Structure 1
């Protein structure tokens, strides 16, 4: 209960940099590059300052802060529209079946096709939690706070969301998928390509990657067996996305082969089921109520945290919260908020 979500602001860059150094690579949206993170925080502040409710090329960076110490222990991001300034590339995994009556054989092969199908979508990404704080449901709090932000600012996001999950990377920072495919055309390591992508974008992909489909049977087994599979540390995130209504639909990341999940915005569980409420004057007693994720505030004033919640009557919009949550969220009687059960 002593943690809250808020927008990133100037001065948070070094805390984000410290988190970025713990990712182990392959985390494009949180590069271990201080200047890149400073630029991202500036861009995020511009997005939170934009007054027009429209789908723009914005990124919203949120941080998870310990309320007492002020330590930043996690972060998450929302991209309002991908593929605006440069193409947004994915691989689409499909299959082709051929038959030969003369040989009495039927062969089905898988193909990877470079596509920009997901251009124009919004994206949730960049979720990372400090290893020492991966308890108490803080990852879930980070994830669901993004959906409540979307709920409160629906007009700023597209009708479809995507989420890219980091693919399989070994203990030496190598990607079997990249080594089996991308490296053949680019002549650089996965770490070099990933860094270049995080700093300058992936436009170089269209410059050098072949436009025709790649038959997976021609890839080494080590590359084939990781296609569409998340990194071990990303499996809980994949399960959370699936519970929210995301599915893979055959899209994979062009660098590490990790799954790209897709969902209709208004069908995301936490967006569709979040309820609006108004704070009652009296706070709950200790131990009362249902543990929920609660969010309030617009743009720069957005805040979210766990709270114990109690409806005076079923489906009532008059809601009581525990005092710690009220203080954490800086709420006063009559303030509006949205909530979703944990």
Structure 2
């Protein structure tokens, strides 16, 4: 398995991924024209033909045995410059009566664009057959998640100070969002799926146009909806745990539609960015995999960026690869790889 930039001939594979991702995966709608545009935008980003504040770096997880796309992930260079980027910010308002000696603090939701200009890691999806500890394709989600940090570390000057990730919120057994039913549906004359679809297609201006500009008191919401605030979908929990291990934290921002948390960090504080280092490649046909240590390696060119697991730790300033690993990463003796111990 390896990570590589999406290519222009990956459209069929990307659409197949979008069809499996389903409702709630806003950034990957099943719309062929939109997906083709996303691929072209990514190609322009990797070829550095797009301004840095408008780049989309889109990667795919490729199964070398048959060339199938097993998953995807992406990095938005900076959000909110062309299309508004909205959240709710969870806050509080204090009320008091001196005469009656009564005090009350009430949670509120404020419409916010505070993350405008930040980097976003997004669109992480792994096909069901490539997930799970029992599956032979072990740690594919980790490969997708962590490869993005190696890319950011290698091209640090292309990114701003902060990074965020939006997490899918809670849905019930009927694939219904209690948060949406309590709040969003009162302001948008459409169902959740349609609002989700429009957002995925980049048509986000209606959010600012239709949502209330004043604080919303969460006490007016039913308990079922309030319980969704800052909580994640069961399928999103592994991704959230990986991000938390890298140092991203919830700071009170949630998704407009489903109430899922947005986690964030300063890029230079992210564990993988801080700890990854570069090593010189040596190829040895007799190299033996280590039983414990697992290392993630990534190339240092933007257009040819490739990431994959390698079976041994670096020694001094060198990393020894088998011929198969070198072919997977498309490197030769003397090249440079960025490595991260996981």
TM-score normalised by the chain length of structure 1: 0.94
The range that moved more, 101-110 or 162-171, is: 101-110
> In structure 2, what is the equivalent of residue 304 of structure 1?
307
What secondary structure does 1:118 align onto? coil
Q: Does 1:11 align with 2:14?
A: no
Separation in structure 1 between the aligned mates of residue 49 and residue 94 of structure 2, nearest angstrom: 52
> In structure 2, what is the equivalent of residue 97 of structure 1?
94
Separation in structure 2 between the aligned mates of residue 250 and residue 6 of structure 1, nearest angstrom: 33
The answer to whether the Cα contact below 8 Å between 1:92 and 1:115 also exists between their aligned partners in 2 is yes
- For structure 1, list consecutive stretches of 5 or more residues without a partner in the other structure: none
> In structure 2, what is the equivalent of residue 142 of structure 1?
144
> In structure 2, what is the equivalent of residue 261 of structure 1?
263
> In structure 2, what is the equivalent of residue 58 of structure 1?
55
What secondary structure does 2:251 align onto? coil
Q: Deviations over 1:64-120 (max 9, x none)?
A: 000121000100000001011122111100112223344333212100000111000
The answer to whether the Cα contact below 8 Å between 1:55 and 1:158 also exists between their aligned partners in 2 is no
Structure 1 residue 284: Cα displacement? 5.3
Q: Deviations over 1:30-88 (max 9, x none)?
A: 11111111110011101111168x63211111000001210001000000010111221
Written as runs of structure 1 = structure 2, the 5 A alignment for 1:152-171 is: 152-171=154-173
- For structure 2, list consecutive stretches of 5 or more residues without a partner in the other structure: 133-137
Structure 1 residue 182: Cα displacement? 0.9
> In structure 2, what is the equivalent of residue 215 of structure 1?
217
Match of 2:18 among 4, 17, 20: 20
The answer to whether the Cα contact below 8 Å between 2:83 and 2:202 also exists between their aligned partners in 1 is no
Structure 1 residue 283: Cα displacement? 4.7
Equivalenced residues, count: 336
TM-score normalised by the chain length of structure 2: 0.94
The answer to whether the Cα contact below 8 Å between 2:41 and 2:56 also exists between their aligned partners in 1 is yes
Separation in structure 1 between the aligned mates of residue 76 and residue 286 of structure 2, nearest angstrom: 36
Separation in structure 2 between the aligned mates of residue 240 and residue 281 of structure 1, nearest angstrom: 31
> In structure 2, what is the equivalent of residue 110 of structure 1?
107
Structure 1 residue 160: Cα displacement? 0.4
Separation in structure 2 between the aligned mates of residue 258 and residue 206 of structure 1, nearest angstrom: 19
Pairwise CA RMSD: 1.5
